[in-house]
Each structure stands twice: as C-alpha cells, then as structure tokens.
Structure 1
Amino acid sequence: MPVVALAAVMMQGYQQDAAEQGEAQGLAQAAVIAEMAIGPALGGEEASGARGGGLTDGLSASQTEGMHRATEHAIFHGLVLRLRVRSFTGQVVFSDDGSTSGGVPVADPDFQAAANGGSRAQVINGDVDVIRVLQPLITSASGQSIGVLELYLPYEPIAKQLREQVNSTWWRMGGGLAALYLVLALLAWWTTRSLSRYAARQEHSAQHDALTGLPNRAAFRTRAEAVLAAAARDGSQGAVVLVDLNRFKEVNDTLGHLAGDELLQVVSTRMRAALGPENILARLGGDEFAAVLPGRDAVEAMALLETVHERASEELVLNGVPLRIEASFGVALYPEHGIAFQQLMNSADAAMYQGKRGTADIVIFSGAGAGHPHQWLMVQAELRHALERDELVLHYQPKVGLPGGEVRGLEALVRWQHPQHGLLPPGEFLPAAEHSGLIVPLTEWVLRRALADQSCWTATGQDWALSVNVSARNLEVPGFPQFVLNLLAEVGTPVHRLILEVTETALVSDMDAAVRAIAQLGASGIGISVDDFGAGYTGLSQLRGLPITEIKIDRVFVADVAHDPQSQAIVRSVIELAHGLGSRVTAEGVETPEVCQWLAEVGCDEAQGYLFGRPVPWPQVSPVPVVPSTEVEGVSR
C-alpha cells in the first residue's frame, strides 16, 4: 500500500510536469509562429492596422493571402491544429478554416492577459488533448501589440514523449523497488526466522530446566495434567513419582556447586535413559525430580523405579572423588490415590518423606501413617502462635529400674493443647517442626519447662533424672551445649540429673557439628542417650569414642521379645554391646509382665512403657515400684 500510494503521488507529479512542459513548449512554438510567420505575413500594412486601433479594421486581401501562405505548411503537417488572429475586441480577423467566430471569450482571463501583452498556455483535455496558447501579436516596426494570436497545438507528441519518460522512469523505479522489496523481504524473512527461533528458545527456556534440559515444574504440571485427564476419560492407570537426592547438600558443600551441577546432569541423564521416552521426567528444582509413569500398575511401577534407582545410584567420579548418590522415591498411584494432579503430588511427597524417615528407598503412598508435608506450612504457622500463647504442655513417662521397678527418671514428652483440635500427640506437629527452624525454639521451651518441673519434684523429695529429646538440628546450632549448661546453672540443677536423648538417625548423619556437640555435652557431665537404637543401623565406629551413657532399645525389638528367638538374640546383643561400652540399657515399649521379666533376666538395666505408666503430668506419676506379676520360666541369660 505505501508503494501504491507513492506511485499515485509520482504519477500525479508526472502529469503536472507534463502539463507544464506542454504549456512551455506551446508558448515557445507560439512565439516562433508569431514572429516568423504571422509578423512577416502582415507585412508593411501592419502600421495602418496599428493606427486603426489594432486589427479592428480586419486584414487586407494581401495580408490574408500572406497569412494563408505562412500557415499552410504548419496546418497541413499538423503542427498547428487551429489558428486564429483576433482583435482586442475578440473579432476573428483570420482563421485557418475561414471561420469568423468562436474562440476564447473576450472575458476569459487568458485572453485579457494576452491582450495586455502577456502569454498564456493551457492543456485542454477532451476527446483529443490540445495545448491552447493565447499570444499577443507584436509589430516589428512599432513593437506594439496589435491583436491576439489564438493557437491550438497538438498535445499528443508531448504526451507520448512524457509516456516514454514515465515508462523509462517506471522501469528504473520498478527495478529499484523490486530490489528494495527483495532486500526488505530477505530482511523480513531473516528477522521473522530469528524472532521465531528466539521465541522458540524463550518458550523452551520457559518450559525446561537450563541445567539438565528436562521439563521444569510448569511444563511437568501441564503434561501431567494432560495425562491425568486422558486417564480419567479412558480409565487407565499409572503413577506419579517424586524423587529427592539424599545428601546432595553434602556434595555441594564438600566438592563445590560445579560438582553438584555435574552430579545433577549425570543423574538426570541416567534417570531419563532408564525411564525411556514413553514416561515423563522433570526437574522441579534443586535436587528434586518428578515423573509420570502412564499405564503402569503398582508392580510395574516398582519394577521400573528399581531399575531407575539402580542406574541413578551407580558410582561416578566428581573432582577425582568416587561416590554414589542415593535417592528417595515417593509414589502415588492413579486412580487409586486420586486423579487430581495436586492430590497425587501431595501423596507422592508424603510417601517420599516417609521413605526418608525410614529405610526404604522407594515408598508407595499408603494413605495411613504418612505425613503430609504440604500441610506443614499451616502447622508451622500455628505452632509459632502456640509457642507465643503457651499452648504446649509436658507429660512425663517413668523409666524404672530392673528388676525392682523403682522409678529412676522421667522422660519429658511434649503435647500441644490445640484450641480447636484438643490435645495433640507429638507425631502431629514434631515432623513439621523438625523440617523448619521451629525445632530450635521448641526444644529450648521444652528444656526450660522440664527443668522447672524437675525443680518442683525435687522439692517434694524425688531425685528422678530428667530425659529430654533433642533433634539433630539442635546439635547443629552453634552454642547449643553452652546454652544447656547456662540453663542448668540458672535453675540450679546438677548436670548429671539431665539426660539428652538423641535419635539414632542424628548419629547416622555423621555431622561434625553434632558429634562435637555430643562430645562437649558428655564431657560436661550431662548424660547422652541414643534413642530408638536399631531403627537406623548406627555403625559401631560411630558409637566408639562418644560419651554415651544410655542406649535405648527400639520398641520394635522389645514387643515380642518374650517369644521370638530372633528378637531375643538382637536384644541380648545390644545389651552386651552397651555394657561393653560402659552404657546402661533401657528397653522401650514394655507393655507386659512377661517382657519385663525376660528383660530383667537378660540384664536390661531399665524399662519404659505402658506397663509402668502412660505419659501424664509429673504430679500424677506414681513413685511406687512396679513389680512384674508373672515369672517366665526357662529363660537363660
């Protein structure tokens, strides 16, 4: 459209130029005719005509004959289409066709201008375009104007010449515009292609992880929702999987972030190859991946994930260090565990964290007993307010000596008196606190309140020791040992009357900070207890050198120890190991006299469980010894 508009403007300009050129040529030609033909034809009688007021008296016969001779050639050859000689009053005194009328009206501005000595030319458009010229007739003798020469000249030669010029110009312009259009088209094509590639790269970047090339969180959701929608229509099954690399932070901290990036690239390549193109794999961020396995039931999904786990955990070398990376897989099945994307992601997340807390690398969502980390944010927010509003309470469970059954100490167990949900056990909120910084102020609150309660029962004459659970996060906090010692000094409690119970998983982590904290606490005289021993497979090398005063056997091995030979063998081994390390042994989860009697027989030092009392506020703890009422015969040490 701009080119067409430009052409229209140029055409109009050329037409105007042609008209001006025709008018100029007409004026020049009229001047030549007037001077070379008309003037000589009027001859010597022009003076008498001038004296008579111009040509008002007309022409003489000789002048008329001379005019015919002078104009015959031009008229015959078409150089002049019409010629009239007129007086100032408009009278036609001569015309090439002999007519005495017609012509431009006297009142016409062009005629008046010619009568006053000026020349006027104009292109007249009609069936045949002509150039009309009004030229004053000047006598050669006096130099005065005696009349008006009215000429009509052919415009076609000028128009033809103009068309030739226009055609030539159009060809040149067309070639130039074609070349320009070609250049612009090439530029537009190249720009469009570049923009398309850029847009494609931007779209790919927006949908894929820059490090691994896998789909990112947004792309995974889109693809997974499409698969789930198709599954809802045709009733097919499948699995949604969340994968989290274990101890990835240690790789970053030890070998550097570049090594961590390389590890992620290697692991993602291995998992993608193991899963194949028919399954969807994405990186959600950090060391967390997700997958969708369409058309697979639980058995098929587990078999495939076992292969993926094996491939991902193969040894690799980073910065010259050979290592193996383990991963936790959480699996949610559809439609068994739901068909909505977020519901399945939550279930897979819960299963994954359940696996991290246990020993299985691949866990299918069970629907029961699995925490829901997506609800932890709400729990953490409410727990902060609970600490501020003093909604937490402590219950205590006695630890009794064997075989006498006398109370030797109390273990502090935190409860949450929730304003809407009532009294909540620790399993409802401690996992959320463990995975946030709340565990630190929560543990500090428990220590302060428990030591205050211990001062109260000490005032009543009871010298029970106090056991308080601490998290691995507490041990990592700089200055935690000194905080505990300052708190003991503040309340005036001897250090030997406090026992800090550390879960075995904290020792498995083998964190230098935790080990240093345990060593410092033990060296100060505070008792250190390894809680839930046997659940986390603590290595003997980790126990060696630590100031462990107590080992608590996990309830899993205690529950059926009176009848199961394997449990009996394990418990005997733990007791012998603990005594060999100079530690006493406490059995957890003792609920029957038979189990209590058997433990006493094999040399267990203390016991704890519902047989001796459920967790209650400390004033409700009975100091009366609990003696088993049933003796088990045939038990040998």
Structure 2
Amino acid sequence: MREALDVDDQLELALQPMIDLVAGEPTGVEALIRWRHPRRGRLTPADFIRTVEGSELLGAFTRYVVDKALEVAAEWVRHGLDVPISINLSARSLLDPRLPAEVAESLRRHQVPAHRLVLDITETVVMSELKVIDEVLSALRTMGVQLALSDFGTGSSSLTFLTRVPANELEIDRSFVARMAESPEVAAIVRTIVDLGSGTGAAGGGRGGGARRPAGRARRAGLYGRPGVPHFFRPMPSDKIVAVLRSLLDSAQARILPLRAEGAS
C-alpha cells in the first residue's frame, strides 16, 4: 500500500450514481476505491481496507482518496454538472484533528465548492462520544462539507448523534429498505425516519434492497436512491461517469412537461 500511494496507476475510483427515485435525476455519485495490485490483481476494499485502517498509512490513504475524488469532481464542475461526490470515511480518520485542514486544502487546490463533497460516516462513529470527533465533524460542517450518516436506524444512539452534529443525509440501513414491501411496520418506520430527516434538514436515503418492488415502495415513502440497487447502475470508471450523468440529467429534464403554453395568462 505504501508503494501504491506513491504512484498514480494502482489505486483508482469506481463511481456509482445515486438516483432520485421520483425525478430520475442523479443526486450524487459515490466514489468506491479499488486497488490494481501488481501481483494479486484487482482488489476491492474488503481485501485491504481493514489492514489500512489499522496501520499508520490511514492518514495518507484518506488524503489520497479525498484528492482523487475531488479531482473527478473538478472535472464535473468544468462540464457544468452540479453533482456532489461521496466518499466513505473511516471512523479512525475522525480522530485526526488535521483532517478538516487537509480537506480544505484539497478543495482549494481543485477549486471544488465544499458542498460538492459528501463524507459518509457510519454507526461506529455515532457510538463514540470522544470530543475530538465532534470537533472534527463540526469543522467540516462549518466549511460547508456535507455529512451523511450511514446505516441509520440500526443503533440506539442514532437520534442522540443528530443532536450533537447535524447530518445532511440519513442513509437508512438496507435491512429496512429490503423489508419495506413485505412489512407495513417497517414501511412505517422508514416513513418516520424520512419525516425526521425533513424536520432536521437531512435528506432521507435508502441503501438498496436490490429489487424493483422495494424501490417502488421507497419512492412512495419519499426516499431518493442510493448505491446498491443493481438495476440502476454498477460502479464505473471515471472516464465513463460524465456521459452517464449528462444522460440522466437530460432524461430527467425531458420528462418535465409545461402546464400551459408560454405566454398564456
């Protein structure tokens, strides 16, 4: 990994669009890291991320991923695409008080507005009450970076966390989304979380159940699409994503019909 961080052709991003289930337009793109290992071939995070998180390389790895993601987002800015990019952030990264300054420097270098970056944090962060974590998250929010809380609803401390650090997005755990079609009780819980998100200023999203019927129920509950729904898009290389985003935006705009002729009173 130390060698991979020193070159530009091993660690790469696979990008997966997130879709508004009602309008059909992209609400963002999740950046997923892949490793083209010179001996072991293509590796997914499951093959190496735990090792990185437990090593002294986590800081350098996080900076590398943030920088790569903002490099891609800068390209979207040049193409006039107003779409945020989301990356998963290790809980241990939030123990580093230098993180906000490093993110700010990367945003400045790539000339990407702060609100175009979404940092995805998990329930493990919610469980911690360390002051440094709240300080790091607050600094990121102050500069305009968006925060998304993953797996929302699976832990008893989720609601408490929202009083500590307001999140921009609540990503409802996939176990709830997958059971919405079969369980009115689960569907009611999801609607409640969506209403909670609306009340706190956070959008509600569901990580996919993978079937069309849950997606239909999710639309009625007021969710927008998140990654993990195979019949939308699989992760793709960065050189393909601009065309896909443009196509989604054009298709969504084409479905908007005028209510009356221009100039009519």
- Give the CA deviation at 1:497: 1.0
Classify 1:420/1:560 alpha carbon distance in 2 versus 1 (closer, same or farther; 3 Å).
Answer: farther
**For residue 434 of structure 1, what is the aligned residue in structure 2?**
53
**For residue 260 of structure 2, what is the aligned residue in structure 1?**
none
Contact 2:150-2:170 within 8 A present in 1 as well: yes
SS in structure 2 opposite 1:448?
A: helix
SS in structure 1 opposite 2:42?
A: strand
**For residue 221 of structure 2, what is the aligned residue in structure 1?**
602
Question: In structure 2, what residue type is equivalent to 1:595?
Answer: P
**For residue 85 of structure 2, what is the aligned residue in structure 1?**
466
**For residue 6 of structure 2, what is the aligned residue in structure 1?**
388
Matches of 1:400 and 1:459 in 2, distance apart?
Answer: 22
Matches of 1:568 and 1:556 in 2, distance apart?
Answer: 11
Contact 2:15-2:32 within 8 A present in 1 as well: yes
- Give the CA deviation at 1:537: 3.5
Matches of 2:153 and 2:49 in 1, distance apart?
Answer: 21
Among 110, 114, 118, the alignment partner of 1:495 is 114
Matched, 1:611 2:231: yes
- String of CA shifts for 1:328-350, please: whole Å, max 9, x gaps: xxxxxxxxxxxxxxxxxxxxxxx
Classify 1:405/1:470 alpha carbon distance in 2 versus 1 (closer, same or farther; 3 Å).
Answer: same
Matched, 1:546 2:171: no
- Give the CA deviation at 1:611: 2.5
Question: In structure 2, what residue type is equivalent to 1:557?
Answer: F
Among 459, 469, 480, the alignment partner of 2:99 is 480
TM-score after normalising by structure 1: 0.37
Contact 2:28-2:83 within 8 A present in 1 as well: yes
Matches of 1:421 and 1:536 in 2, distance apart?
Answer: 37
**For residue 302 of structure 1, what is the aligned residue in structure 2?**
none
Question: In structure 2, what residue type is equivalent to 1:614?
Answer: R
RMSD: 1.9
Question: In structure 1, what residue type is equivalent to 2:5?
Answer: L
- Structure with more relative contact order (C-alpha pairs < 8 Å, separation 6 or more): 2
Question: In structure 1, what residue type is equivalent to 2:88?
Answer: N
**For residue 584 of structure 1, what is the aligned residue in structure 2?**
203
Classify 1:456/1:539 alpha carbon distance in 2 versus 1 (closer, same or farther; 3 Å).
Answer: closer
Among 495, 498, 510, the alignment partner of 2:129 is 510
Matches of 2:169 and 2:55 in 1, distance apart?
Answer: 28
Matches of 2:97 and 2:165 in 1, distance apart?
Answer: 19
Matches of 2:181 and 2:30 in 1, distance apart?
Answer: 25
Question: In structure 1, what residue type is equivalent to 2:194?
Answer: I
Contact 1:590-1:610 within 8 A present in 2 as well: no
Contact 1:452-1:491 within 8 A present in 2 as well: yes
**For residue 449 of structure 1, what is the aligned residue in structure 2?**
68
Contact 2:35-2:43 within 8 A present in 1 as well: yes
SS in structure 1 opposite 2:6?
A: helix
**For residue 568 of structure 1, what is the aligned residue in structure 2?**
187
Give the aligned length: 245
Q: How much identity, in percent, do the aligned residues show?
A: 34
| Runs ≥4 residues deviating over 4 A | none
- Give the CA deviation at 1:530: 0.6
- Give the CA deviation at 1:385: 2.3
Contact 2:73-2:116 within 8 A present in 1 as well: no
Where do 1:202-351 residues align within 5 Å? none
**For residue 70 of structure 1, what is the aligned residue in structure 2?**
none
- Give the CA deviation at 1:549: 0.6
SS in structure 2 opposite 1:531?
A: strand
Question: In structure 2, what residue type is equivalent to 1:470?
Answer: L
SS in structure 2 opposite 1:389?
A: coil
- String of CA shifts for 1:357-390, please: whole Å, max 9, x gaps: xxxxxxxxxxxxxxxxxxxxxxxxxx22222234
Contact 2:20-2:224 within 8 A present in 1 as well: yes
- Give the CA deviation at 1:528: 0.8
Question: In structure 2, what residue type is equivalent to 1:591?
Answer: G
Matched, 1:620 2:230: no
Question: In structure 2, what residue type is equivalent to 1:616?
Answer: M
- Give the CA deviation at 1:616: 1.1
- String of CA shifts for 1:109-132, please: whole Å, max 9, x gaps: xxxxxxxxxxxxxxxxxxxxxxxx
Contact 1:590-1:611 within 8 A present in 2 as well: no
Question: In structure 1, what residue type is equivalent to 2:230?
Answer: Y
Question: In structure 2, what residue type is equivalent to 1:413?
Answer: L
Matched, 1:525 2:141: no
Matches of 1:535 and 1:436 in 2, distance apart?
Answer: 28
Matches of 1:578 and 1:447 in 2, distance apart?
Answer: 26
Matches of 1:596 and 1:618 in 2, distance apart?
Answer: 26
- Give the CA deviation at 1:539: 3.7
Contact 1:505-1:536 within 8 A present in 2 as well: no
Contact 1:553-1:588 within 8 A present in 2 as well: yes
- Give the CA deviation at 1:544: 0.8
Contact 1:585-1:606 within 8 A present in 2 as well: no
Contact 2:134-2:164 within 8 A present in 1 as well: no
Contact 1:523-1:547 within 8 A present in 2 as well: no
- Give the CA deviation at 1:420: 2.3
Radius of gyration: which is bigger? 1
Contact 1:507-1:542 within 8 A present in 2 as well: yes
Question: In structure 2, what residue type is equivalent to 1:532?
Answer: D
Question: In structure 2, what residue type is equivalent to 1:496?
Answer: H
- Give the CA deviation at 1:482: 1.4
Unpaired segments ≥5 residues, structure 2: 253-265
Question: In structure 1, what residue type is equivalent to 2:162?
Answer: L
Matched, 1:408 2:2: no
- Give the CA deviation at 1:590: 4.3
Unpaired segments ≥5 residues, structure 1: 1-382, 628-637
- String of CA shifts for 1:380-434, please: whole Å, max 9, x gaps: xxx2222223411101111111301111211111011112222111111111112
SS in structure 2 opposite 1:589?
A: coil
